Amino acid sequence: MLIKKIKIGGLELKNNLFLSPMAGITNSAFRSLCLEGGAGLAASEMVSADSLKYSSKKSFEMLKVSPGEHPIAVQIFGTCPETMADAAAHAEAAGADIIDINASCPVKKILRSGCGAMLMKNPFLVGNIITAIKKRVKNPVTVKFRVGFTEKENLSVLLARVAEESGADAITVHGRPVSRMHNGEVNLDFLNKAALSVKVPLIGNGGIVSAEKAREMFEAGCAGVSIGRAAVGNPRIFSEIISELNGETAENAGDCDKVKLLARFLILNSELYGEVYGVIRARKLVGYWLKGIRGGAELRKRFMAAKNLNEAKSLLLQYIEKGKSL
Ligand SMILES: Cc1cc2nc3c(=O)[nH]c(=O)nc-3n(C[C@H](O)[C@H](O)[C@H](O)COP(=O)(O)O)c2cc1C
């Protein structure tokens, strides 16, 4: 059985298929839909430890966890062990079940500040950050990094060992190098070597769009698999993959189901940000959401012109009604 319960530190999760952290995407509204859609764990957007130190209202808002969104890993980024430990304590107080450390972000601005994937260049610092956080929080602590910086380099074995020795309760490895950002092949061989080098669960990530891709990652030795972009637009991908890997007949979401979920997402988003800004914020996601669906390009164009929740909802309802009569 590939899909099973998994223990991260003292926390038992109902399955080993997780939602990846995605800035600008995995907000409270989206996380709720993915947990409903079967994810064993949801992750927040990354939150800056420095911004929390300087009491940024926006960053504290990002830590908020609503009652329907457990289990959740809140991800923080930064370089200073003490500041990261303070941030972890804030996240735990706000309801995080797991504190996740970002050592994987390839975005230039983040790298320039020494954060994200730049931490991979300094395994001692990674270890110090984990140790400092472990001293401050009770809940499990995890870390996410990449296989390496370039195609040929595998830093993940060393980093996984350092993370485990420093007390990490699980490790996520994105199987693409930093140089590839979020595109290209995932190196399953490197993931396999990293998974074999530690006793704590190693969660593989990158390019999971189907049960087959998830199977490959489990077969490479990963104890769990984390899904990013394929969940955007299809938050039910988790239960679809679970059913398929369990040999059950999976009923995959059709175009209208996806549009219905988008309508629900908009409602949840509007509860968070208001009926105008909630729709504006959703504009960034509709490209992912409507990709590949019949009439998706036209619907997206019209969605971009919607000024508030009512306008957006009626567009989506028209699409669903039309879909029923086809
Ligand atoms: C828009 C976007 C935002 C992301 N933000 C984060 C983030 O905040 N923290 C993080 O660890 N990874 C982040 N990632 C990387 C994803 O967690 C994941 O590692 C990556 O998308 C590969 O998985 P996928 O191929 O399943 O999408 C982001 C990716 C995307 C596309």
Are 237 and 299 in the same domain?
no
Residue 47 counted as domain residue: yes
Looking at the chain, list the stretches that DSSP marks H as alpha helix, in order from N- to C-terminal side: 28-36, 49-53, 57-63, 81-94, 108-112, 123-136, 156-165, 188-196, 211-219, 237-245, 255-273, 277-290, 296-304, 309-325
Centre of ligand 1 from the C-alpha of residue 318, in Å: 32
Nearby residues of 196 by Cβ (< 8 Å), 6 or more positions away? 221
- Give residue 22 CA to ligand 1 midpoint distance, Å: 5
Whether 301 is in the pocket of ligand 1, judged by its Cβ within 6 Å, is no
Average pLDDT (269-296) is 92
**101, part of any domain:** yes
Q: Is the distance from the beta carbon of residue 24 to the nearest atom of ligand 1 less than 6 Å? A: yes
Q: Supply the pLDDT for residue 323.
A: 74
Ligand 1: residue of 174, 182, 238 to mutate (most ligand atoms within 8 A of CB) is: 182
Domain check: are 183 and 262 in the same one? no
Residue 206 Cβ inside 6 Å of ligand 1? The answer reads yes
**Is residue 106 located within the same domain as residue 16?**
yes
Q: 226 and 273: one domain?
A: no
225 shares its domain with 263: no
The CATH number linked to 97 is 3.20.20.70
103 domain residue, yes or no: yes
Is residue 233 predicted with pLDDT exceeding 90?
no
208 close to ligand 1 (CB < 6 Angstrom): yes
Number of domains making up the chain: 2
Do 99 and 170 belong together in one domain? Answer: yes
Distance from C-alpha of 206 to C-alpha of 234, rounded to nearest angstrom: 16
Q: Say yes or no: 267 and 306 in one domain.
A: yes
Among protein residues, the one with the nearest Cα to ligand 1's atom 5 is: 22
Which of 220, 245, 270 terminates a domain? The answer is: 245
87-119 pLDDT, tens digit per residue, is: 999 999 999 999 999 999 999 999 999 999 999
Q: List C-alpha distances in Å: 284 to 173, 278, 280, 290.
A: 26, 11, 8, 11
Is 69 a residue whose pLDDT tops 70? yes
For residue 156, report the distance from its CA to the centre of ligand 1, in Å.
Answer: 18
Q: Are residues 222 and 280 in the same domain?
A: no
> 1 in a domain, yes or no?
no
Distance between Cα 326 and ligand 1 center (Å): 36
pTM of the model: 0.95
- Two tokens at 225? 């698999």
Kindly state the percentage of the chain with pLDDT values over 70. Answer: 99
Q: Is 90 exceeded by the pLDDT of residue 254?
A: no
Any domain includes 30 = yes
**CA 84, CA 89: separation in Å to the nearest integer?**
9
Say if residue 109 is in the same domain as residue 210: yes
Residue 149 lies in a domain: yes
Label residue 325 by pLDDT band (50, 70, 90).
low
Any ligand 1 atom below 6 A from CB of 229: yes
Q: Which of 194, 221, 245 is the last residue of a domain?
A: 245
Instruction: Say if residue 116 is in the same domain as residue 58.
Output: yes
Report if residue 267 sits inside a domain: yes
Enumerate residues 6+ apart whose C-beta is below 8 A from 231. Answer: 19, 20, 34, 37, 39, 237, 238
- The verdict on 119 and 147 lying in the same domain is yes
Residue 101 and residue 123 in contact, taking contact as beta carbons nearer than 8 Å: no
Question: Is 250 part of any domain?
Answer: no
pLDDT at 253: 77
Residue range of the domain that includes 300: 255-325
- Mean of per-residue pLDDT scores for the chain: 95
Give me the residue label for tokens 């969605």.
303
Residue at a domain's end among 213, 245, 277: 245
Residue 324 has a pLDDT of 61
Q: Do 169 and 282 share a domain, yes or no?
A: no
For residue 201, the model assigns a pLDDT of 98
Active-site residue set: 105
For residue 326, pLDDT beyond 60 = no
For 168-201, how does the pLDDT look when each residue is reduced to its tens digit (9 = 90+)? 999 999 999 999 999 999 999 999 999 999 999 9
